């Protein structure tokens, strides 16, 4: 039994510990998330809204989560928020049946199509990468405003990024947070940073609009130096960070003229999101603890 299972089985304990996660989760309801996005927009930051409900095990749960994503899109439009949505395919049935996830994603696409909203497909563990790309390719056949995530620590990240660029797919480039074996992923931070920048430079030099998702000051400085050295305009890409982490740095980049998008998770399944991040890699624990007191 995981920590998340213990907490989900004990609502009283979960409430007591929510204060730890509250810094990094906008709240438990869509209304909470809307308030958080509105505040971010007020500071010139865009958002990507994410509903916490990954790894569902029943078609009913998948249908419920799909309906929430559709409600998110409608609410973003109604409130005139500067936000898109990030979809976890495991939340809409990917691990149950790929065809189920395709059908549910199509419902979300139908909602997004009416307002021409961009949809980001989150990337989870390495075992889901090929499935995620298959589902994305099928959805993009009728709705091109769908993007993917590249995890720089995966050995396959470079070739995947090249293929996606050739097809004009917008990408969010991240280091990668899941615990993966050496056969699948780079293990040392220096190697991960090096691969991140190798891929970032290719994305930034391309005509495809992409997101540089990192809190790492080394990488942020390297990206800024690269775009300035190569005359790449600030409107050609965006920085991305997580909700509640380095908030002052987010606003500082906006003041410098860069675009910033904040990934905003919400939902009652915050325990799974928060504690899974901590359990996956030791570095995540230190990262969260440092940012509890950092603006």
Residues assigned a catalytic role: 122, 172
Residue of 251, 249, 256, 223 whose CA lies nearest to 237: 223
Cα–Cα distance measured from residue 221 to residue 113, given in angstroms and rounded to the nearest whole number: 36
Q: What is the CA radius of gyration of the chain?
A: 18
3-class secondary structure, 86: strand
Cα–Cα distance measured from residue 168 to residue 165, given in angstroms and rounded to the nearest whole number: 5
Give the number of other Cβ atoms within 10 Å of residue 173's Cβ.
Answer: 26
Give the number of other Cβ atoms within 10 Å of residue 58's Cβ.
Answer: 10
Distances (CA, A) of 31 to 20, 75, 202, 240: 20, 9, 38, 23
State the sign of the Cα–Cα–Cα–Cα dihedral 20, 22, 23, 28. Answer: positive
Cα–Cα distance measured from residue 267 to residue 177, given in angstroms and rounded to the nearest whole number: 20
């Amino acid at each position: 039994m995981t920590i998340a299972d213990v907490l989900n089985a004990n609502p009283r304990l979960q409430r007591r510990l929510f204060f730890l996660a509250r810094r990094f989760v906008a709240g438990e309801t869509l209304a909470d998330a809307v308030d958080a996005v509105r505040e971010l927009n007020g500071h010139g930051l865009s958002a990507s809204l994410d509903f916490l409900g990954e790894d569902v095990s029943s078609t009913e749960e998948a249908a419920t989560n799909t309906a929430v994503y559709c409600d998110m899109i409608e609410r973003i439009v109604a409130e005139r928020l500067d936000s898109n949505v990030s979809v976890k395919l495991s939340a809409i049935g990917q691990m149950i049946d790929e065809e189920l996830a395709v059908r549910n994603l199509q419902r979300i696409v139908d909602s997004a199509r009416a307002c021409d909203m961009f949809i980001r497909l989150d990337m989870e563990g390495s075992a889901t990468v090929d499935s995620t790309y298959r589902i994305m390719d099928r959805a993009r056949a009728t709705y091109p405003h769908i993007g993917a995530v590249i995890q720089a620590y995966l050995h396959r990240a470079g070739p995947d990024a090249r293929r996606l660029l050739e097809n004009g797919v917008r990408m969010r480039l991240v280091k990668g947070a899941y615990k993966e074996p050496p056969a699948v992923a780079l293990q040392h931070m220096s190697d991960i940073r090096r691969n991140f920048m190798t891929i970032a430079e290719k994305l930034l030099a391309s005509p495809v609009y992409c997101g540089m998702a990192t809190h790492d000051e080394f990488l942020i400085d390297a990206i800024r130096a690269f775009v300035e050295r190569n005359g790449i305009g600030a409107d050609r890409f965006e920085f991305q960070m997580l909700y509640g982490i380095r908030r002052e740095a987010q606003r500082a980049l906006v003041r410098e003229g860069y675009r910033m998008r904040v990934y905003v998770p919400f939902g009652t399944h915050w325990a799974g999101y928060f504690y899974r991040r901590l359990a996956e890699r030791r570095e995540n624990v230190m990262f969260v603890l440092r940012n509890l007191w950092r603006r």
